[in-house]
A and B are shown apart, each in its own frame.
Chain A
Amino acid sequence: MDAPRLPPPAARVTIRELFTQFLVVGMSGFGGVLPFARRMVVERCGWLSEQEFTEVLSLAQFLPGPNIVNVAIIIGRRFQGPVGAMAAAAGLLLLPLVVVLLLATAYVRFAQIDAVRGAADGVSAAASGLVLAMGFRMARTIARSRWQPVVCAVAFVAIGIARFPLLWVLAALVPLAVAIAWWRRA
């Protein structure tokens, strides 16, 4: 379908940039940082195209481990090898870890206050919306295909609605989807 691209990326990204940009992503993402990572990598910094980011995310999701950490590892490695991977992952995780532990300590003390609990509920509701919106955006990259929207819908119904165990759904759906992609290549 698409022309093969060469491994060396167009953008030059330093170790310092990897650390600081992922630090910003980690600190601005509430209730999940993937939408913020996509925004940073594709829109703000232009490190990857929309499709390249979807490819990275697909890989990160298919491999075990937290998706966003895998995304940081893959992007860090792509631009700066092992040090880049560590810099991106450290930038992403260290400060949020400190903040969340401080918050947890404080929350234990103030959870009785209705306003505190209400604010947390509000953030959760909006954060769910951010995840949904990211899904809709990414859906555009597969919308032009005939079969990909069908696979997407099946995955959604199986996992989101029917709540089948993830491992079984992936074990059934991924080989099938790859087989379809293989038959329809060229």
Chain B
Amino acid sequence: MISSPLVELAGEFLGLSLLSIGGANAIIPELQLRAVHTLHWMTAADFAQLFALSQAAPGPNVLIVALVGWKVAGVTGAIVAMVAMCGPTSALTYWFTQVWDRFRDAPLRVAIQHGLAPVTVGLILSSGYVLTRTTDHSVPAYAVTGLTVLLVLTTRWHPLWMLAAAAGLGALGLL
């Protein structure tokens, strides 16, 4: 067994990517477990910091994977981790969609889609709920989350304004 950190990163994230049905947020607990307790890549505090950073930086949640790779093996580690996480599953998605489209109007496909839709909505709501529980540690923080929900649903303001305002409140130490 080769024990190069890059090989280890590639193997771990390839495995994790295949488990990540439901998205990058769904593997966060599993990733934390492996990175901190099983493989001892970093401390729990390090991981929490990387997670906060991936939340505060622009870009998809999956960038936590790049940050973990970066922590382990620098920029090369970040790239290896991202390629392992996104490459094989992207190829699978491409292939599957092609097959899927051929059966576009098949009754089973329609049933699968109608069956999956509510599960999807449930997962997104779960993500929002779990993220809220993880990130909000004070009443004002919960207020920010709640107000954001309200503003998104009732106005057409660009979400970046809400994020900027929340960043400002946080920087002033109000959360």
Contact = CB atoms under 8 A, between A and B. Distances in A.
B166 A58 contact: no
27 contacts: A7-B101, A65-B20, A69-B60, A74-B93, A77-B94, A92-B60, A93-B59, A99-B57, A100-B67, A104-B57, A121-B175, A122-B171, A124-B52, A124-B136, A126-B167, A128-B134, A129-B145, A132-B125, A133-B149, A137-B153, A138-B120, A141-B121, A152-B122, A159-B126, A166-B22, A178-B114, A182-B111
Given A118-B171, A123-B170, A152-B121, A66 B89 contact: yes
Contact of A96 (B63, B125, B172): B63
Contacts of A153: 122
B129 A61 contact: no
Nearest to A176: B115
Interface string B66-88: 11001000010011001001100
Interface stretch (B4-12, B35-43, B157-165): B157-165
A36 B160 CA distance: 10
A174 B24 contact: no
B89 A99 contact: no
B83 to A, nearest CB: 10
A133 B114 contact: no
Contact of B117 (A35, A55, A107, A130): A55
B153 A136 contact: yes
Given A28-B160, A89-B90, A63 B60 contact: no
A54 interface: yes
Interface in A60-75: 60-70, 73-74
Contacts of B93: 60, 63, 65, 70, 73-74
A104 B70 contact: yes
B99 to A, nearest CB: 11
